[in-house]
Amino acid sequence: MTRVEPERELVRRVLPFVPLVAVAAFGLGYAAGGSGAAWSALIGVAIVTANFVMFALSIAWAASISPTMIAIVALGGYLFRLMIFTAALVVLTKLSWFSPIALALTLVPATLALLIYEAKALSGRMQADLWAFAGDHS
């Protein structure tokens, strides 16, 4: 029996909503603060999406190896993504049109919505029960 990796399944479920969320964020950003805020909001959606996809795929890969690798990838991946996004924020704040407020006002609700969706999609199932490790024939 082949098990579907829960992280890859979540990516497949979430990605179809990204264009709708991106258009909504761009529109709200434009209405609230013009084109700079709109593009900043769109960057916020891109950051949340990239973070989610990178995390999900790296954890799916680590889960195919061992529980120890999951811990290493979860912590190391978090720190790596945090450094990349911090560097991106430093670069973006140098642009005259960039709005950190619009970015933050997009990041927070988009992240919360994603976490709620993920919790709902996996509710009632233990994450560890969904993984299969090398040599695991259950």
Task: List, run by run, the mean pLDDT of 10-residue segments along the chain (138 residues).
Answer: 73 94 97 97 95 92 90 91 90 95 94 89 62 54
Domain limits for position 57: 28-119
Query: Do 107 and 48 contact (CB within 8 A), yes or no?
Result: yes
Report the domain count for the chain: 1
For residue 50, being part of any structural domain is answered with yes
CB neighbourhood size of 92 (10 A): 16
For residue 14, being part of any structural domain is answered with no
For residue 133, being part of any structural domain is answered with no
The rounded Cα 97 to chain-centroid distance in angstroms is: 25
pLDDT of amino acid 58: 93
For residue 55, being part of any structural domain is answered with yes
